[in-house]
Amino acid sequence: MSKKHNSNSGSRISRREAVKRGLVCTAGLWLTDRLGFAAPTVEPAKAKAKSVIQIWMWGGPTHLDTFDPKPDAGSDYTGPLNKPIETNVSGIRVSELLPETAKQADKYSIIRSMTHGVNGHETASYEVQTGRKPGDGKVYPGVGAVVSLFKGYKAGYKGLIPPYIVLTQPQGRFSESGFLGSRYKPFATGGDPAQGKFAVEGVVAQGITDERQQARRKFLHELNSLEHATKDDPQMVALNQADKQAYDLILGDAGKVFDLAQEKDEIRDRYGRTTFGQSCLVARRLVERGVPYITINYQGWDMHKQIFQNLGRKMREMDKGMASLLQDLSDHGLLDSTIVWWGGEFGRTPKVQWEPPWSGGRNHYGKVFCHVVAGGGFKGGQVVGSSDDKGEEVKDRPVYPVDLIGSIYQQLGIDTEARLPHAEVVHVLASAEDGAKTAGRLKEIM
Amino acid sequence: MKTFFAAATVLWAALGGIPVPGAAANLFESDAPPKPKGRIDELVFAKLQKMGAEPANVCSDGVFIRRAYLDVIGTLPTGKEAYEFIKDQTPNKRQALIDRLLERDEFVDYWTMKWSELLRVKAEFPINLWPNAAQAYHRWIHDCLRQNMPYDRFVREMLTANGSNFRVGQVNFYRAVQNKDPQTLAQTAALTFMGARAETWSKERLAGMSAFFSQIGYKQTAEWKEEIVFFDPDKTASVTSNAVQQAAAVFPDGNKAQLTPGRDPREIFADWLITPQNPWFTRNIANRVWSWLVGRGIIQEPDDIRPDNPPVNPELLAYLEKELVANHYNLKHLYKLILNSTTYQLSSIPKTKSPEADANFARYPLRRLEAEVLIDALNQITGTTEQYSSAIPEPFTFIPEDQRSITLPDGSISSAFLEMFGRSGRDTGLESESYTRITADQRLHLLNSSHIQRKIETSPKLAAIMGTNPAGGGNYGSYGKFGKNGKRGGGGGGNASNAANVTEKKPGEVVGSLYLVILSRLPTPEEFKTVTEYFQITSAKREGGRDLAWALINSAEFLYRH
């Protein structure tokens, strides 16, 4: 067939050329669908986690007002939030706006010494989710895309639900899949799970009954004259395959994972009837079906102005959703095999900007911030590293993006030394030789 | 308007009167085997004969008008344009259509988009041009294509550019890279203008070419994000990289260059590059233009020219190169030559089913429409618009909703649809960055998303054709393009969303018009029968018409170039 098989963006080379350049390893280290090789594999014996739920705090959440309170830093730092609360783990305190999440502290560890020093959204988002610095001519894939490469269709994942889901809108700051190409981009659900019916883009069409769907499908098939005339064309074979997969979601059972009416009202209430709360519930249902990577793209944390007014509502919603997710995963026996990863691209300036136009806001802050991990082999009830008494510098045990990402890969059984499909030698994780700053994996909580 | 649709119905009826056995095949092609028309066809057919492969038949008029519009101007023909072309009895009407299309504004828009992919016109990350520099770069490309600047001059202007990124658009060639070191710049120039992957070359060869790009200076000005790109003779001494040594400026063909102090080495490189004798320059562009129109390079991938990836038909490529040189790098000449060939006009239905025959252009290959062309077509059919956004909050990136996707100047301005359907990331300049394979999530989106459903349901254009009101109310403005382009449309357009205009329309008129508007042709009798039967089982008439529009939009014929 004459169609060019340009299945991915990024550089492409032919198999023959790969052989010529000595890139083809008999041991199968160079694993890529582009060259038609076997799928990348994880080492099941080493894999503690099967899935990741990433709560992506879009915009950069304030570290002082969430998981790294500094009540003694003075009101220019704390604003009105100077009474952090005890958690169910003695010695660990979190913001007074997280009463429910405080009761789950035995399930998660707080990393209080995340750092990369970047204050721009795009670059910081890229660094936190790829572990790379931009500028070497390649656009690296984020963690979700790498996980869907190693645990997705090419690795034996059979689900009809795509292996990498984002609830509900794509991040937009960077290409999640980088040089792995569109195929490893997340499937963005669209819609709103807090609405009566979660209209997942493409899966649920409002106002169209199943009968009409059936009739339309038959109608389309009958009218598809070009398809009939060019039946064996690889393009048509691919179209038919995509068609079948699509209809399995529209009319088959696979799409029911998004139907929250199947959950008890009481459960739905516990998560909170908000977009974030119900997204957490959908994420749990997706994990139950074996989806390896779910990002909850939680927008609205770029709080430059009047942060203390905004935090009240926002934190209530986050607290309810996140605490219920942790409890529910645990109740379903899923927490041991599911990593919950909370965090954004950076923290926010510890010192409050009281002057207008900010009127009590916090700016971008990449020097030190916090992330939270739970489940999937990570210990709970721990604190990793610390920031200084004003939350302005790393005081102890810096954690760079590669350290956290590498630890997540390790829990998933993904070999960080394995090569990614690229014409050049590119490993799953950046190493010190690549110029990446590292202070080592999070052994203390693994 | 009425007359047009009525006439379409009459034409349909006339076609319907002809008994056509196996109508589906004849819908797309003529019965007779193809005849070679010129040198291109002689060379292609000779090769096929040698292989024992048979070329497909010539495509039908309905296929041709759609194909030519999509390939030449990235735009769907309107129903009226399709109808008039099919009806036209002039013998050279295909040639006349090609000439007309090459002069359309959309020709410039569409090919500016293509070049913007290869030249990486993108405001931010990982290419960091900044919005107004991306706009300036795009504007320059657009201006060059509008005046049909000879290709060799186009390349030379970029390679030797000096000046402000905001004022001299073409200097952004040296900024639209992920790294401004000489080696990256050399690789970028090699990929773009030589179709070569310099990262696979020997170190010495790459270093030799890099030397030409080692005296480029970049400096800031008082204006925010303005950057001046200039020839910096003082940079010689500061080049300390082991790989790049000023003394070793060697052309990629192995000849040593004579660099004169004070003369910009980029000029010396450009003068070496843009000659007819250069082994890469003409070959690269001739092969690319062929692959853009015919769907596959004579050297494939078109940007991977190297000794062990030979052309499938060397004589054909040599002929195209010769034509281009003889016509002073006038790319439109090459477009005309290819588009008028029988080879280009073959149908997609293979006589010889084999990858080798396909690779030798025995038929026109099926290709899914690019993201931009597809969404523009959907918007044109339905009279709806698209919301674009950019992650960079700059006034230059605000884009009105009714702007067509093919005219978006900046890769950072995008939409969820464009991303899902594999719009080029403009990150690397590789042809393969624009992704056109169908995926399950794309299929879901087309079949069942609220986005597409809303377009169909709220479409004032489709409602007018069906004789119903669009859903959702609201003022959709006057009903579109037929009115604007046609002579007869003057009075009728504005009334379309008026309840008074909702009159009973004959199924023949509705179905014929939907086919023309969406598939650029009329239905076959079999198809018409299927549709009328479907209309009888659907309870609401409105649903029947919408389901037909939905089915046609989801058919392979709509989604694929064919």
pLDDT in tens, A290-329: 999 999 999 999 999 999 999 999 999 999 999 999 999 9
Q: What is the pLDDT of residue B259?
A: 87
Residue A133's closest chain B neighbor by CA?
Answer: B126
Q: Which two tokens stand for residue B6?
A: 């009525």
Q: Answer whether residue B174 shows pLDDT above 80.
A: yes
**Which whole-number Å values give the CA distances from B307 to B196, B275, B310, B321, B355, in the listed order?**
10, 20, 6, 18, 22
Contact between chains at B124 and A122 (C-beta distance less than 8 A): yes
Contact predicate A277/A320, CB 8 Å:
yes
H-type alpha helices, A225-373: 225-229, 234-250, 265-271, 275-288, 307-331
The average confidence (pLDDT) of chain B is: 87
Q: Answer whether residue A260 shows pLDDT above 90.
A: yes
Q: A159 CB near a chain B CB, below 8 Å?
A: no
CA atoms within 13 A on the CB side of B444: 26
Contact predicate A301/A59, CB 8 Å:
yes
Q: Say what percent of chain A tops pLDDT 70.
A: 89
Mutation test of the interface with chain A: which of B197, B397, B436, B447, choosing the one with the most A Cβ atoms within 10 A?
Answer: B447
Q: What is the pLDDT of residue A269?
A: 97
H-type alpha helices, B19-121: 23-28, 39-51, 61-68, 79-87, 93-102, 105-118
Mutation test of the interface with chain B: which of A33, A206, A227, A230, choosing the one with the most B Cβ atoms within 10 A?
Answer: A230
Q: Answer whether residue A370 shows pLDDT above 90.
A: yes
Each residue's pLDDT tens digit, B220-275: 999 988 999 999 998 864 444 444 445 589 999 999 998 888 899 999 999 999 99
Contact between chains at A235 and B349 (C-beta distance less than 8 A): no
Mutation test of the interface with chain A: which of B443, B527, B536, B561, choosing the one with the most A Cβ atoms within 10 A?
Answer: B443
Which residue among B355, B363, B439 places its CB closest to the CB of A183?
B439
On the question of a cis peptide bond just before residue B365, with omega within 30 degrees of 0, the verdict is no
Q: What is the pLDDT of residue B441?
A: 82
Q: Answer whether residue B13 shows pLDDT above 90.
A: no
- Chain B residues with CB inside 8 Å of A233's CB? 348, 350, 366
Contact predicate A178/A130, CB 8 Å:
yes
Contact predicate B417/B375, CB 8 Å:
yes
Q: pTM for the whole thing?
A: 0.75
Q: Answer whether residue B14 shows pLDDT above 70.
A: no
- The amino acid at B502: V
Q: How far is CA A133 from the centre of its chain?
A: 19
Q: Which two tokens stand for residue A312?
A: 């009240």
Q: What is the pLDDT of residue A255?
A: 85
Contact between chains at B124 and A187 (C-beta distance less than 8 A): no
Q: Which residues contact A168 (CB under 8 A, 6 or more apart)?
A: A188, A189, A190, A191, A192, A193, A275, A279, A297
Contact between chains at B447 and A246 (C-beta distance less than 8 A): yes
Q: Answer whether residue A44 shows pLDDT above 80.
A: no
Q: What is the pLDDT of residue A28?
A: 27
Question: What is the least distance, in Å, from the CA of B171 to any CA of chain A?
Answer: 19
Contact predicate A142/A178, CB 8 Å:
yes
3-state secondary structure of A244: helix
Closest CA to A9 of A229, A154, A226, A179: A179
Select the more confidently predicted residue: A184 or B170: B170
Handedness of CA A172, A175, A177, A182 (dihedral sign): positive
**What value does the CA radius of gyration of chain A take, rounded to a whole number of Å?**
23
Contact between chains at A225 and B552 (C-beta distance less than 8 A): no
Contact predicate A279/A149, CB 8 Å:
no
Residues 288-307 of A with CB under 8 A from B: none
Contact between chains at B451 and A14 (C-beta distance less than 8 A): no
ipTM: 0.89
Residue B453's closest chain A neighbor by CA?
Answer: A205
Q: Which two tokens stand for residue B139?
A: 């504007």
- Tell me the C-alpha distance between B428 and B422, whole Å: 14
- Chain B residues with CB inside 8 Å of A138's CB? 178
Question: What is the least distance, in Å, from the CA of A267 to any CA of chain B?
Answer: 28
Q: B527 CB near a chain A CB, below 8 Å?
A: yes
**Which whole-number Å values give the CA distances from A409 to A150, A171, A207, A289, A423, in the listed order?**
10, 21, 42, 21, 23
* Partners of A419 in the β-ladder: A30, A427
Q: Which residues contact B22 (CB under 8 A, 6 or more apart)?
A: none
* Partners of A340 in the β-ladder: A53, A374
| Angle, helices B79-87/B2-17, rounded to nearest 10 degrees | 50
- Tell me the C-alpha distance between A213 and A194, whole Å: 25
- Tell me the C-alpha distance between B196 and B252, whole Å: 10
Q: How far is CA B417 from the centre of its chain?
A: 17
Q: Which residues contact B60 (CB under 8 A, 6 or more apart)?
A: B26, B27, B28, B29, B30, B347, B521
CATH number corresponding to A41-198+273-445: 3.40.720.10
Q: Which residues contact A320 (CB under 8 A, 6 or more apart)?
A: A100, A270, A271, A272, A274, A277
Residue B551's closest chain A neighbor by CA?
Answer: A220
Residues 110-129 of B with CB under 8 A from A: 124-126
Contact between chains at B437 and A5 (C-beta distance less than 8 A): yes
- Chain A residues with CB inside 8 Å of B444's CB? 201-203, 246, 249-250
**Which whole-number Å values give the CA distances from B229 to A363, A369, B172, B184, B445, in the listed order?**
33, 38, 8, 16, 44
Residues 426-485 of B with CB under 8 A from A: 427-428, 430-445, 447-451, 453
Contact between chains at A134 and B126 (C-beta distance less than 8 A): yes
- The amino acid at B409: P
The average confidence (pLDDT) of chain A is: 88
- Tell me the C-alpha distance between A99 and B268, whole Å: 70
Q: What is the pLDDT of residue A174?
A: 75
**Which whole-number Å values give the CA distances from A169 to A186, A191, B321, in the listed order?**
10, 9, 48
* Partners of B219 in the β-ladder: B228
Q: A223 CB near a chain B CB, below 8 Å?
A: yes
Select the more confidently predicted residue: B560 or B238: B560
Q: Which two tokens stand for residue B34?
A: 């193809």
Q: How far is CA B474 from the centre of its chain?
A: 34
